[in-house]
Amino acid sequence: MLVPEGGLADRFAALFDGSGIDVHTTGDFTAWRKLLSNLAANPLTERRVDVFTEPDMARLASEVLSEAVAVARAEGAEIGERDVRKTLDLYAMNPAGGGTSMLYDRLAGRPLEHEHITGVVVRAGKRHGIPTPLNTALLTLLRALDQSIR
């Protein structure tokens, strides 16, 4: 587990001593890698996650993630295209038939979390003057979908 250095980091890490969970501090603590893990999988999986075995969907996911990497770098995150590949590899490890939290929310008629995932990328892109056409299109579609299930 990575936590930001300073503050209460050492005391927090001490809570896990002997638990088998390794806690490390880092100066580059951003939530961007976690965001990447959700960014393409959630809005693009109207079906189950094995949809990413289809070349066109894998390519779309890669492009959505690459837009986010450009934004994340402008925000100061030390990530790059290697993180895109690692995220796509993560998607490939999911069992066929598995779903995402956004899919399960939609199926249950609950509000979607798109503003906290795709919206983050779009808003940060605007702040930095970085175009995010794919993420913007997804956000528009997700907002419309969310309105239809309320």
Tell me the fold of 31-148. Answer: N-(1-d-carboxylethyl)-l-norvaline Dehydrogenase; domain 2 (1.10.1040)
Is 34 known to be catalytic?
Answer: yes
Catalytic member of 34, 47, 59, 85 = 34
> Which tens digits make up the pLDDT trace of 1-24?
777 777 777 888 888 888 888 887
Decide: pTM greater than 0.75.
yes
Residue ranges covered by each domain of the chain: 1-30, 31-148
Which range has highest mean pLDDT (39-43, 87-91, 121-125)?
Answer: 121-125
Contacts of 30 (CB under 8 A, 6+ apart): 72, 75, 76, 77, 79
Average pLDDT over residues 131-147: 94
Alpha-carbon distance 14 to 97, whole Å? 39
- Cα atoms found within 13 Å of the Cα of residue 124, Cβ hemisphere only: 21
Reply yes or no on whether the pLDDT at 94 is more than 90.
Answer: no
